[in-house]
Amino acid sequence: MRTTSPPPFDVPSLFPELAGSERTTVRLHPRRGDDPGRDATKMGGRFGWPPTDPWPRCDRPHDAFDGSANFTYRETPPDDRPFVPVLQLRRDDVPELGFPPHADIFQLLWCPASHPGFYAPAIEVFWRSSAELADVIAPMPVLAPDGLLYVPGTCVVHPERVVEYPGLGEINGPLMDRIGAWEDSQGDPLFQWSLSSAPGTKVGGYPYWLQDPQPQTCQAGHPMDHLLTISDTEFNGGTWHRWLPIEEAGLWSGPTRARLDVQEPADLQFGMGSIYVFICRQCDPLPIAQIYQR
């Protein structure tokens, strides 16, 4: 069990305009551990797979880091690289994901390479029935060192529901000015750090944008919903006071390795970044979009 600290201030009391804008997010709290099973809720590990379905492979060009001091990339041709398992969620554990009627398992896989245009792994998602899954060992690609940064270590997850509010980037007009003035009076950006949206790997709620908000629309023009976020860092030096679970609060000032096991549990490295996944629930078959920020 992991428990988020209560907010240090009551948001609707401070800013009545935000009353009614609250949303519930499901913080997943991934922690390294043994694989809980082929059809269990988890991050990384082995996924069960329908025996008649081919394992997904990447047919897109990739970016290869050229080793130069300015971190430039060059485009390489597709190499039929297998995807790797990233996140699997059961409907019983995280119904907030919004499963279609036929499915009780959600699977997210990605190609563990940087891709031109968004410089991050390329995602595919699958909505499954647990009855169709067999015990399949995913093929692992041969990866350059930079590709290993995108292969998550096996983690168990501890879903927790938390109420959150939109970040400052999604607020406009006089209210944004009032929040900025209040933060100045506190000496820290406390609204963004502790009172708005939760950082880290989570389902639903508001995106914890690291840059300007990038809302998405599908090809049919429908606004897309924030489905989930996968982050390489669960909290940082500004946000840990609120978002480091109460049960683990002492780790911040403890040994570095113990803190990093909680702060960066899956050993993903996006440059202190996040991959945001969006979904259109008005179109069939539930198209997704992804955004990467760091």
pTM score of the predicted model: 0.93
Say whether both 50 and 145 belong to one domain. yes
pLDDT of 66 > 60? The answer is no
> d(Cα 139, Cα 56) in Å, to the nearest integer?
10
Q: Classify residue 256 as exposed, middle or buried by CB count within 10 Å of its CB (0-12, 13-18, 19+).
A: exposed
> d(Cα 97, Cα 85) in Å, to the nearest integer?
18
> d(Cα 156, Cα 90) in Å, to the nearest integer?
13
Say whether both 180 and 274 belong to one domain. yes
Say whether both 124 and 196 belong to one domain. no
Domain boundary among 152, 185, 210: 152
Average of per-residue pLDDT across 84-97: 97
β-sheet bridge partners, residue 42: 88
Domain boundary among 133, 152, 171: 152
Task: Give backbone dihedrals phi and psi of 205, rounded to 5 degrees, phi first.
Answer: 70, -155
Least confident of 137-141, 168-172, 214-218, 227-231: 137-141
CB 276 within 8 Å of CB 226: yes
Say whether both 25 and 38 belong to one domain. no
The whole-number pLDDT of residue 81 equals: 82
In the chain, the number of structural domains is: 2
pLDDT of 72 > 60? The answer is no
pLDDT of 68 > 50? The answer is no
Average of per-residue pLDDT across 239-248: 96
HSE at residue 232, side-chain half, CA atoms within 13 A, is 17
pLDDT of 259 > 70? The answer is yes
Q: Classify residue 140 as exposed, middle or buried by CB count within 10 Å of its CB (0-12, 13-18, 19+).
A: exposed
Say whether both 18 and 41 belong to one domain. no
Say whether both 76 and 105 belong to one domain. yes
Say whether both 54 and 19 belong to one domain. no
Say whether both 86 and 162 belong to one domain. no
Average of per-residue pLDDT across 278-285: 95
The whole-number pLDDT of residue 134 equals: 84
- Per-residue pLDDT tens for 268-279? 988 899 999 999
Place of tokens 């997850």: 157
Domain boundary among 152, 178, 210: 152
Say whether both 192 and 205 belong to one domain. yes
Q: What DSSP state is assigned to residue 193?
A: I
CB 157 within 8 Å of CB 28: yes
Q: Classify residue 42 as exposed, middle or buried by CB count within 10 Å of its CB (0-12, 13-18, 19+).
A: buried
Going by C-alpha positions, the residue among 68, 57, 70, 60 that lies closest to residue 115 is: 60
The whole-number pLDDT of residue 78 equals: 65
Say whether both 115 and 215 belong to one domain. no
Going by C-alpha positions, the residue among 226, 216, 223 that lies closest to residue 282 is: 223
Q: What are the distances in angstroms from CA 277 to CA 97, 141, 220, 292?
A: 12, 24, 17, 9
Say whether both 21 and 142 belong to one domain. no
Say whether both 273 and 227 belong to one domain. yes
- The residue range of the domain holding 3 is 1-29+158-294
pLDDT of 67 > 50? The answer is no
Average of per-residue pLDDT across 227-253: 95
Task: Give backbone dihedrals phi and psi of 3, rounded to 5 degrees, phi first.
Answer: -125, 125
- Mean pLDDT in the chain? 91
- Per-residue pLDDT tens for 116-162? 887 889 999 999 999 998 876 655 566 666 667 899 999 999 999 99
